[in-house]
Amino acid sequence: MRTRAEAAVSEDTPTTAKSRAERDAAPAKAATLIEALPWLQSFHARTMVIKFGGNAMVSEELQRSFAQDMVYLRYAGIRPVVVHGGGPQISRMLDRLGIASEFRGGYRVTSPEAMEVVRMVLTGSISRDIVRRINEHGPLAAGISGEDAGLFVGRRRGVVIDGEEHDLGLVGDVIAVDPAAVLAQLEAGRIPVVSSIAPDADDPTQSLNVNADAAAAALAVALGAEKLVVLTDVAGLYSDWPDRESLVSHIRSDDLAALLPSLESGMIPKMTACLDAVRGGVPKAAIIDGRIPHSILLEVFTSEGIGTEVVASLDPRDRERRSGR
């Protein structure tokens, strides 16, 4: 005759085995949720600006996870604001239309003809797609162009290459921000999705192609955001690239300023945006690996975070308090 224990084992089914596995995993899931508690408290009702870019904009899986992250933040009581660029998509559309793409010093030379394509891609395609994906979870997102309601004002800039100034056409820097349109959307409970275009301060009939990293930083400062998060295609800031052991998890603004001239050219705009944000009063800025699904939730709600966090040099609120990191 079988014992009760033997009978229990022999009668075990895939369903009961799955239930047992779920029960065994429950404490770890609960611990993860509890780990998020101090960050839910810290960021509750605060504004967070997220610059959406890189591979996350072209991968279907990453686009879905990004939209889910934005909705999660919104229902967790945080006020997310999305700022996006769209360099690869703009290049593809220019190629399709037979318009040559030219870069000088890492900046896209933008003719009036190319600027029309920039506007079409950013506001007519990318912004609408981000809004649509977020709104699959409810009527939460609304698209805003930097041209709307005086949100951004820009001024044309050139670039110096080998000591010589080069014209970039309709390319500029954000010199002023009026966040009223974004604040109105936030007060209505929406997630603003902002395109990085700005009218020219010196010729309001013209619009300028502005760097999305810099635009996100300027908007974060104007909104009094609690944090700026910049999605990238790398794990974070490396102090000695390509040595992958030199990944920096936490850095103060003065140290970053000293390191900035030695960085790879592609990292300079992103780290400059983080530096400008914290020097402008944003308590924290971070660059994170947007190739990892749900990287924003990992950055915001876990003790270790992900990527590289920048804080002001005199700001005592830093990630070292999280876990001795």
Q: Annotated binding site for substrate: which residue ranges? A: 86-87, 108, 209
Cα angle 281, 217, 209; round to 5: 150
The enclosing H or E element of 80 equals strand 79-84
Q: The tokens 């810099």 sit on which residue?
A: 214
Three-state SS at 3: coil
The DSSP output letter for 123 is I
Q: CA of 67: how far to CAs of 81, 133, 221, in Å?
A: 12, 6, 24
* Pairing state between β 103-104 and 308-311: unpaired
Which residues are part of a known binding site? 86-87, 108, 209
| CA gap 231, 296 in Å, rounded | 8
The per-residue b/e assignment along 72-102, b for 16 or more CB within 10 angstroms, e otherwise, is bbbebebbbbbbbbbbebbbebbeeeeeebe
The DSSP output letter for 85 is -
The enclosing H or E element of 62 equals helix 60-75
Three-state SS at 200: strand
Q: What are phi and psi of 174, to 5 degrees?
A: -75, 120
Q: Which amino acid is at 301?
A: F
| CA gap 68, 56 in Å, rounded | 13
Residues 6+ apart with CB under 8 A from 119: 145, 197, 207
Tokens, residue 193: 């999705």
Residues 6+ apart with CB under 8 A from 314: none
